[in-house]
Amino acid sequence: MGYVRRPYDLNADDVYVDLGEVLDRPVIVKCESFNFAGSVKLKAAVSMVTAAEADGRLRPDSVIVESSSGNLGVALSVVAASRGYGFVCVTDPRSSVQNRRQIEALGGQVIVVTEPDGDHGFLGSRLRRVRHLCENNPDYVWLNQYANEHNWRAHYTTTAPEIVRRVPGLDVLFVGAGTTGTLTGCARYLRDIGHPAQVIAVDSIGSVTFGGLPSPRYIPGLGTGKRPEIVDESVIDDIVMVAELDTIRMCRTLAGAGFLFGGSTSTVLVGAQRWLAANGGPATCAVAISPDLGERYLDTIYNDMWVAEHFGAEFLASLRPGPSEPDVRPGELISPLVGGV
């Protein structure tokens, strides 16, 4: 391996985990978190910044501004710091403290909106703040991940070809739907090359991306309060909606086997497990894309007090292992991290 001179040049694209034994379904997970941004969003960040430089939108004195629940914000802070741009991330209270601190450590500024928009939730409020910042700061450049074609093109040119090369017998691909950049890019690539694999979108209940009714969501990453402009349902074969309770159960199940995956990854795996139970067979070759690992969810999904607060003590108790697990009284729950959400 050669030397890495820019942080975004390090992106391990060949890490695959066979979770068949853990899930009791034939699922191979493509891990996209082994880079300096810690998530699949680094690909989109590099793609969008490079395109904005090429068309002259980004200049030496520019400040990149973006709405993000966390991972893209971290990725853009990495790219902005490396290329000499300022960066402002507009987020909301669901974003992890770790993500916010990482953005700030890399020289970025974090603005947290505290009130959801009446029609589009926190996303609507974030977008309104981004537009206001750009209107009042001529040097600010909004990349707009929800409508930017270079978001999905990043995965059209990298992620999807990587999977086809590594897993030539692919039958079905499971991809989480956030901005739908990864989903749209991978699905369009497979269609354009005439690949027979089915593409299954996995989304969170409460998201409006595919026409569902909006409802409160506490786990950032997947789902939106406003339909992204780049979503393309014509290249998707099926959609699986997953409740956040099931996401948390999957996170805890995988952690019990030694795999600390993030909330987005576990949502995708719940969807894959459910879809394969109804449509797959023992010979089905299935790949699920894992956007990130679990260290950014330690103060939420993996924190007992946070789970009890948002989903109830009864649900928390249902996550406990069998009788051999030590009894924990409510007052003895793990305390949240200092400064936690």
Give per-residue pLDDT as tens, 222-242: 888 889 999 999 999 999 999
Q: Other CB atoms closer than 10 Å to residue 34's CB: what's the count?
A: 14
Q: Other CB atoms closer than 10 Å to residue 322's CB: what's the count?
A: 5
Q: Other CB atoms closer than 10 Å to residue 154's CB: what's the count?
A: 25
CATH T-level fold of 7-34+148-296: Rossmann fold (3.40.50)
Residue of 155, 190, 156 whose CA lies nearest to 291: 155
96 Cβ contact partners less than 8 Å away, ≥ 6 residues apart:
70, 220, 296, 297, 299, 300, 341
| Domain-wise residue ranges, the chain | 7-34+148-296, 41-142
pLDDT in tens, 130-173: 999 999 999 999 999 999 999 999 999 999 999 999 999 999 99
Mean pLDDT, the chain, as a whole number? 90
pLDDT at 325 over 60: no
Question: What CATH code is assigned to 41-142?
Answer: 3.40.50.1100
Q: State the sign of the Cα–Cα–Cα–Cα dihedral 254, 259, 263, 266.
A: negative
Task: Determine contact, residues 191/235, Cβ cutoff 8 Å.
Answer: yes
Q: Which residue carries 């009284």 as its tokens?
A: 329
Confidence of residue 321 (pLDDT cuts 50, 70, 90): low
pLDDT in tens, 175-211: 999 999 999 999 999 999 999 999 999 999 999 999 9
Q: Would the CATH topology of 7-34+148-296 be identical to that of 41-142? A: yes
276 Cβ contact partners less than 8 Å away, ≥ 6 residues apart:
25, 26, 27, 172, 284, 286
Confidence of residue 323 (pLDDT cuts 50, 70, 90): very low
